Structure 1
Amino acid sequence: MASEYGLKRHFNGEAARLIGGKVRAVHPEFDVEGYAAEVERRIPGKELKDRVLVLTEGLRSRLPGDYPAAVAVLVPILGDELAEGEGMFNTSWFLMPVARFVEEYGQDHPEVSLDAIEAITRCHTGEYAIRPFVEDHYAMTMKRVAEWAHSPSHNVRRLASEGIRPRLPWARTLDIFVKDPLPVLEVLETLRSDPSEYVRKSVANNLNDISKDSPEIALATALRWLEESPTPETNWIVKHALRTLVKKGDQQALALLGATGGQFVHVSGLRVTPAAVAVGDTLLIDFTVENTDGRTHSVTVDYVVHHVRKNGRSIPKVFKLTTLELAAGERRTVQKTHPLKEVQTRRYYAGEHAVDIQVNGLVKATEQFALRI
């Protein structure tokens, strides 16, 4: 998914001209240049969501006041349905204000809005627009979601999962599903072996969301799916759905994915070099793993960087490293480079940072490096 920073730069006067030109082809009196000028005047200093809202509000003030009539102008500009693998933020990013239009103004016309969301998701995504309808028109929306799960369109099937994720990034949390994920799981049952990778990724992310608040339910669901649907598609979904629990070292999740014998694996010779680095440098993490048992074991090896915060405390971040099949008595050297590059979601602070090596969720060795700012 594109970063919020990368996307926001595109929502400007040129985006308004792009959208406005398409709208004018359907609604000839639409003032494209006035729309673009308003957007350019209002967007400075605003982040992604607020920029999109500016474009949305500009549409609202220039389209028919009657909401169904306004939607009837917007739906024809959507374009062709996205094929499998076409990225919505690459091909149809400019439709975000159209989806936001339904989200902001469609509550009094839920049937019209749900029809529009289905049309929008074929060409972009309706995962954000649908969430207020889940909250305010629950029965009607969930009935439609259940129907979408059986759609021949992979985009619509994906919406059936993505739109009801309890903790969808960039979106409001659906507390109703945080407290009770069972209605979500009823929808996911239909999609647990979906042929579309786009849909499977959403199902995995949805079950991963559920695992954060209801790990027992997520694990029980994953186990049942593996037993009832032993397909490569379901196996892929379960593996990716349990990633948060695996990073936390949940032994049941690890066992479900075939990891065994972490207690028999010894880690030695851990080195983190150089010992002192600056932002922009790269660390080399080097160590040896040894299976001390008389049986072969499959182990998941991760590393954890404890990032120092402004207050001096540390917050751990787990990074995936490798999965190894270790024969009885086998030793193997593992190396990993870790770039300390600036990212939008993390700010670095000077101090001693710890690096843990964990095997099947069990911390086996720790080393430190100093970060200089």
Structure 2
Amino acid sequence: MAAALKDQFGLEVIATLAQRIAAVFPDFPQRAFVAQARRGFESLDLMARGRHLARVLRQHLPQDPPAALEILRLSLGPKLKSSEGNGMAPFFYLPHSACVAEFGLDAYEPALRLQYDLTQRFTAEFCLRPFLEHYPERTLERLRLWARDQSAHVRRLVSESTRPRLPWAPRLTQLRVHQQAVLDLLEMLKDDPEDYVRRSVANHLNDLGKEHPALLRQLAARWLKGASPERIALVRHALRSLVKHGDREALQLLGYGPAAQVEIGALDISPRRAQVGEWVRVSLSLRNPRRTTQNLLIDLRVAFVKAKGEPRPKVFKLKRLTLAAGETATLQKSISLAQHTTRTHYAGRHEVELLVNGTALPLGHFLLTEAKPRPRGRKAEPHP
């Protein structure tokens, strides 16, 4: 089993953090900091560990906020060379992020300077949000400058920090008031040369569409006019939640009309009776019976049974197809029935549907039963 995220941010972080601070602030009481930071640390989850270290740091740094923030900034290591493949290493700076969020509001410029440098090593999307809430106009104006920064990490921060539904972060009421200013920032970033930045813009818009679908559809229609392949990919990703819910206008914007016609063959749902912890595989063929080519967006929808027996549908992405007249394609999807922190499985009848350009076509069902105790020494079945 993979180690919990918090276990990759363990006690060794405390000693390293103390050494980094002492290297730029010789008066830093390393032993006292380490002893206090270790107390209760292991009982906390990941984000709480970051906040705990921030509070202990604050007690041992100068009480003058600008001075404390400058020490943190000077202690930062090298910038990230890539946006990928860094694993948990950047999470070393979680206490720095928590420090500036909790104690930096009274030192605006030093705090923004630290966040500018921090986001090029970890992220500042969480710690910037209190500044957007307390100083919206001033901070949005700064983001307009950062949207043209040479660092992709800084440009991504512009989009990520202003997301309506940033994971692990509270909602920001001020961004609803200044919604147009935020949209103007996204306009500046929609053709960013880095996919890393454009994907953040798409995620931001996907958040927006959950609360304001009409606004997202309007913006997507405008952005698709004369769009580059990169911008088309951005819009497609931004519309993904609307598409999953079969939104007709969103599907039409992407070129998938409502009147698709297909023939399903060679259908197999296997096994028909499965246990929690196993896999179910759905396979089928899809034929275009028309005399003209059809653009098809194919998804699979499974109505998972919840604790009280009510269905809760989940959509799985399958494939985008362009089928010529009479052409047939083969599709298959394996569905995990393992228990996850994000999805708990319950016994019952699970209906399966194919979504073709948003139209549901029933495929059948499988029965899910509770897992039976495995004999000792027998391993779980592998991925089909």
Per the normalisation by structure 1, the TM-score is: 0.93
User: Where in structure 2 are there 5+ consecutive unaligned residues?
Assistant: 371-384
| Alignment partner of 2:32 out of 31, 34, 38 | 34
Q: Which amino acid aligns with 1:289?
A: L
Counterpart of 1:307 in structure 2 is 304
User: Aligned partners of 2:177 and 2:20: how far apart in 1?
Assistant: 42
Deviation of 1:198 after TM superposition, in Å, equals 1.2
The reply to whether residue 195 of structure 1 matches residue 185 of structure 2 is: no
Q: Contact 1:181 / 1:210 at 8 angstroms: preserved in 2?
A: no
The reply to whether residue 22 of structure 1 matches residue 11 of structure 2 is: no
Moved more, 193-202 or 271-280: 271-280
Counterpart of 1:161 in structure 2 is 159
Deviation of 1:266 after TM superposition, in Å, equals 3.5
Secondary structure in 1 matching 2:8: coil
Q: Which amino acid aligns with 1:50?
A: A
Counterpart of 1:136 in structure 2 is 134
Counterpart of 1:243 in structure 2 is 240
Q: Contact 1:261 / 1:299 at 8 angstroms: preserved in 2?
A: no
Q: Contact 2:199 / 2:234 at 8 angstroms: preserved in 1?
A: yes
Deviation of 1:261 after TM superposition, in Å, equals 5.5
Moved more, 331-340 or 115-124: 331-340
User: Aligned partners of 2:175 and 2:222: how far apart in 1?
Assistant: 20
Go from structure 1 to structure 2 and tell me whether the alpha carbon gap of 1:313 and 1:42 turns closer, same or farther (over 3 Å shift).
Answer: same
User: Aligned partners of 1:368 and 1:179: how far apart in 2?
Assistant: 47
Counterpart of 1:231 in structure 2 is 228
Secondary structure in 1 matching 2:220: helix
| Alignment partner of 2:110 out of 109, 112, 117 | 112
Counterpart of 1:55 in structure 2 is 53
Q: Deviations over 1:84-141 (max 9, x none)?
A: 3345653321001101100011111222211211111111110000111111111111
Moved more, 175-184 or 68-77: 175-184
Moved more, 257-266 or 241-250: 257-266
Go from structure 1 to structure 2 and tell me whether the alpha carbon gap of 1:252 and 1:304 turns closer, same or farther (over 3 Å shift).
Answer: same
Go from structure 1 to structure 2 and tell me whether the alpha carbon gap of 1:79 and 1:39 turns closer, same or farther (over 3 Å shift).
Answer: same
Go from structure 1 to structure 2 and tell me whether the alpha carbon gap of 1:10 and 1:338 turns closer, same or farther (over 3 Å shift).
Answer: same
Report percent identity of matched pairs: 38
Go from structure 1 to structure 2 and tell me whether the alpha carbon gap of 1:216 and 1:88 turns closer, same or farther (over 3 Å shift).
Answer: farther
Counterpart of 1:316 in structure 2 is 313
Deviation of 1:274 after TM superposition, in Å, equals 0.6
Pick the structure with more helix per residue: 1
| Alignment partner of 2:331 out of 326, 331, 334 | 334
Deviation of 1:262 after TM superposition, in Å, equals 4.8
Deviation of 1:21 after TM superposition, in Å, equals 1.1
User: Aligned partners of 1:214 and 1:371: how far apart in 2?
Assistant: 37
User: Aligned partners of 2:322 and 2:131: how far apart in 1?
Assistant: 48
Go from structure 1 to structure 2 and tell me whether the alpha carbon gap of 1:70 and 1:41 turns closer, same or farther (over 3 Å shift).
Answer: same
User: Aligned partners of 2:31 and 2:301: how far apart in 1?
Assistant: 52
Go from structure 1 to structure 2 and tell me whether the alpha carbon gap of 1:33 and 1:273 turns closer, same or farther (over 3 Å shift).
Answer: farther
Question: Once superposed, what is the RMSD of the aligned Cα atoms?
Answer: 2.0
Deviation of 1:178 after TM superposition, in Å, equals 5.1
User: Aligned partners of 2:210 and 2:84: how far apart in 1?
Assistant: 29
